[in-house]
């Protein structure tokens, strides 16, 4: 075990680290499971350097691998103001009220100051939408015509919204989707990127070893890519995200726990889903939640036993989450070594297994 130092976890700067810009991955590796894998023991300096497909060697018969089956929508659309012809951008986050059939969507619009309430924007030279009222955090309501299908418009004219730090990519939209993303769960504006490393063949190999595979859904929204702008961690407000657990997944989690297996979360979205249900109900049960769970060091994990995750942005909420689970000193030391050994960082980068 490692000797723990004293740190001020109330400060965002505590979760900062130096990252050379050239280590920010612009493209995914092919095949997906050939990314590098840093295995980190919780609260320990013990580490191993592997390839992602080696993850099968670290999973045990009786474990349960839990994946987020959400799918990314092509949410970024270009438009033109009907009055004046100026170009603008609409970023559709989710239907208003959570109803998939809603013609009113919660959106980001740019330039927001030049799009007052009531502005009509033409998309693709064919569809007119109306920019509506201003909401918190710069969000707006945008209304589609009653006689059109918003999802059809988004699919026809939209682009997959890659993170802002991916600026020179040759990737395709399919490369930003997991191989297990489900069409009926197409409701995220960012990918659950820890899952990008899995191939169908690797998942089959994992199942053949006797490891269970189960799914939850968390609709990845604005909170995933909004930075922490406050130095006091407690002042940061997490954006609400919808998550869902099926009866089958809840049952398998309970059985795995009872039989001594580990719950292995694939990605921070799975962590937040499972731990949100445990915090709300005292257990993982079937149902839906709108979660604002903000996990920082000192959090009492009730469900997950291991975590597969990517390398996260400095001073981000995800950096705080992995530090809470793996142990701050262990994680910061692992990140330092990952930089020294030229690992690839962020969404299209390499992976870490914290166990």
In a shared domain, residues 180 and 59: yes
Contact between residue 196 and residue 70 where contact means Cβ atoms under 8 Å apart: no
Q: Which pLDDT score, from 0 to 100, does residue 224 have?
A: 66
- The residue segments making up the domain with residue 80 are 76-157
Mean per-residue pLDDT, 93-103: 81
Place of tokens 């980190």: 40
Q: How far apart are CA 157 and CA 79, in angstroms?
A: 10
Distant-in-sequence, close-in-space partners of 332: CB < 8 Å, separation ≥ 6:
17, 323
Q: How far apart are CA 335 and CA 238, in angstroms?
A: 24
Q: How far apart are CA 188 and CA 15, in angstroms?
A: 26
In a shared domain, residues 129 and 252: no
| Helix/strand/coil (H/E/C) assignment for every residue in the chain | CCCCCCCCCCEHHHHCCCCCHHHECCCCCCCHHHCEEEEECCCCCCEEEEEHHHHHHHCCCCCEEEEECCEECCCEEEEEECCCCCEEEEEEEEEHHHCCCCCEEEEEEECHHHCCCCCEEEECCCEEEEEEEECHHHCEEEECCCCCCHHHHHHHHCECCCCCCCCCCCCCHHHHCCCCCCHHHEEECCCCHHHHHCCHHHHHHHHHCCCEEEEEEECCCHHHHCCCCCCEHHHCCCCCEEEEECHHHHHHHHHHHHCCCCEEEECHHHHHHHHHHHHHHCCCCCEEEEECCCCCCCCCCCCCCEEEEECCCCCCHHHHHHHHHHCHHHHHHHHHHHHHCCCCECCCCCEEEEC
- β pairing state of 263-266 and 306-310: parallel
In a shared domain, residues 175 and 143: no
Q: How far apart are CA 132 and CA 187, in angstroms?
A: 22
In a shared domain, residues 66 and 119: no
Mean per-residue pLDDT, 251-260: 98
CA 318 to chain centre: 9
Lowest mean pLDDT among 64-78, 79-93, 245-259: 79-93
Mean per-residue pLDDT, 211-219: 97
Q: How far apart are CA 280 and CA 221, in angstroms?
A: 21
Residue 124 in domain:
yes
- What are the distances in angstroms from CA 79 to CA 68, 87, 151, 173, 222? 32, 6, 16, 21, 21
Q: How far apart are CA 124 and CA 126, in angstroms?
A: 5
Q: Which pLDDT score, from 0 to 100, does residue 225 have?
A: 62
Q: What is the CATH number of the domain that holds 262?
A: 3.40.1780.10
In a shared domain, residues 215 and 284: yes
Q: Which pLDDT score, from 0 to 100, does residue 209 have?
A: 98
Residue 2 in domain:
no
In a shared domain, residues 281 and 145: no
Q: Which pLDDT score, from 0 to 100, does residue 3 have?
A: 59
Q: Which pLDDT score, from 0 to 100, does residue 338 have?
A: 98
Residue 162 in domain:
no
Confidence of residue 240 (pLDDT cuts 50, 70, 90): confident
Q: Which pLDDT score, from 0 to 100, does residue 322 have?
A: 98
In a shared domain, residues 211 and 340: yes
Confidence of residue 2 (pLDDT cuts 50, 70, 90): low
Residue 280 has pLDDT above 60, yes or no: yes
Q: Which pLDDT score, from 0 to 100, does residue 187 have?
A: 86
pLDDT tens digits, one per residue of 30-64:
999 999 999 999 999 999 999 999 999 999 999 99
CA 121 to chain centre: 30
Q: What is the CATH number of the domain that holds 122?
A: 2.40.10.240
Closest CA to 263 of 284, 292, 280: 284
Domain boundary among 109, 132, 157: 157
- What are the distances in angstroms from CA 260 to CA 64, 163, 211, 255? 11, 38, 13, 9
pLDDT tens digits, one per residue of 132-183:
999 987 899 999 999 999 999 999 999 999 999 999 999 999 999 999 999 9
In a shared domain, residues 250 and 117: no
Residue 175 in domain:
yes
Closest CA to 241 of 229, 227, 224: 224
In a shared domain, residues 85 and 177: no
pTM, entire model: 0.94
Residue 190 in domain:
yes
Residue 163 in domain:
no
Residue 193 in domain:
yes
Question: Could you tell me which residue, 330 or 227, shows the higher pLDDT?
Answer: 330
Distant-in-sequence, close-in-space partners of 44: CB < 8 Å, separation ≥ 6:
1, 2, 327, 330
Domain boundary among 157, 189, 205: 157
Look at the chain and report how many structural domains it folds into: 2
In a shared domain, residues 328 and 198: yes
- What are the distances in angstroms from CA 224 to CA 37, 195, 219? 22, 15, 10
Q: Which pLDDT score, from 0 to 100, does residue 166 have?
A: 96
Residue 196 in domain:
yes
| Average pLDDT for the chain | 94
Domain boundary among 157, 186, 215: 157
Q: Which pLDDT score, from 0 to 100, does residue 1 have?
A: 54
Q: What is the percent of the chain where pLDDT is above 90?
A: 87
Q: Which pLDDT score, from 0 to 100, does residue 136 have?
A: 82
In a shared domain, residues 189 and 326: yes
In a shared domain, residues 340 and 260: yes
């Amino acid at each position: 075990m490692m000797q723990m130092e004293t740190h001020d976890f109330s400060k965002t700067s505590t979760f900062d680290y130096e990252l050379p810009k050239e280590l920010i991955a612009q493209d995914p590796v092919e095949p997906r499971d050939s990314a590098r894998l840093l295995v980190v023991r919780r609260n320990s300096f013990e580490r191993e350097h592997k390839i992602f497909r080696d993850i099968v060697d670290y999973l045990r018969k009786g474990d349960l691998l839990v994946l987020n089956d959400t799918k990314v929508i092509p949410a970024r659309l270009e438009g033109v103001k009907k009055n004046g012809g100026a170009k603008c951008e609409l970023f559709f986050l989710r239907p208003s009220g959570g109803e998939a059939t809603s013609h009113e969507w919660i959106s980001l619009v740019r330039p927001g100051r030049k799009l007052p309430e009531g502005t009509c924007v033409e998309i693709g030279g064919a569809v007119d939408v109306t920019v509506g009222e201003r909401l918190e955090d710069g969000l707006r309501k945008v209304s589609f015509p009653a006689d059109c299908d918003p999802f059809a418009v988004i699919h026809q004219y939209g682009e997959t919204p890659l993170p802002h730090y991916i600026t020179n990519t040759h990737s395709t939209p399919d490369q930003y989707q997991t191989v297990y993303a489900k069409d009926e769960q197409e409701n995220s504006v960012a990918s659950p990127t820890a899952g990008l490393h899995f191939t169908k063949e690797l998942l089959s190999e994992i199942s053949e070893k006797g490891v269970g595979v189960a799914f939850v859904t968390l609709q990845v929204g604005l909170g995933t890519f909004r930075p922490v702008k406050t130095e006091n961690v407690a002042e940061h407000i997490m954006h609400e995200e919808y998550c869902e657990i099926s009866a089958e997944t809840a049952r398998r989690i309970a059985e795995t726990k009872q039989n001594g297996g580990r719950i292995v979360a694939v990605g921070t979205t799975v962590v937040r889903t499972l731990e949100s249900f445990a915090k709300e109900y005292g257990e993982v049960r079937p149902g839906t939640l709108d979660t604002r769970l903000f996990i920082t060091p000192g959090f009492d994990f009730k469900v997950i036993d291991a975590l597969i995750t990517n390398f996260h942005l400095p001073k981000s909420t995800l950096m705080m989450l992995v530090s809470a689970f793996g142990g701050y000193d262990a994680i910061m030391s692992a990140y330092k070594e990952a930089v020294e050994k030229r690992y690839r960082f962020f969404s299209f980068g390499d992976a870490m297994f914290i166990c």
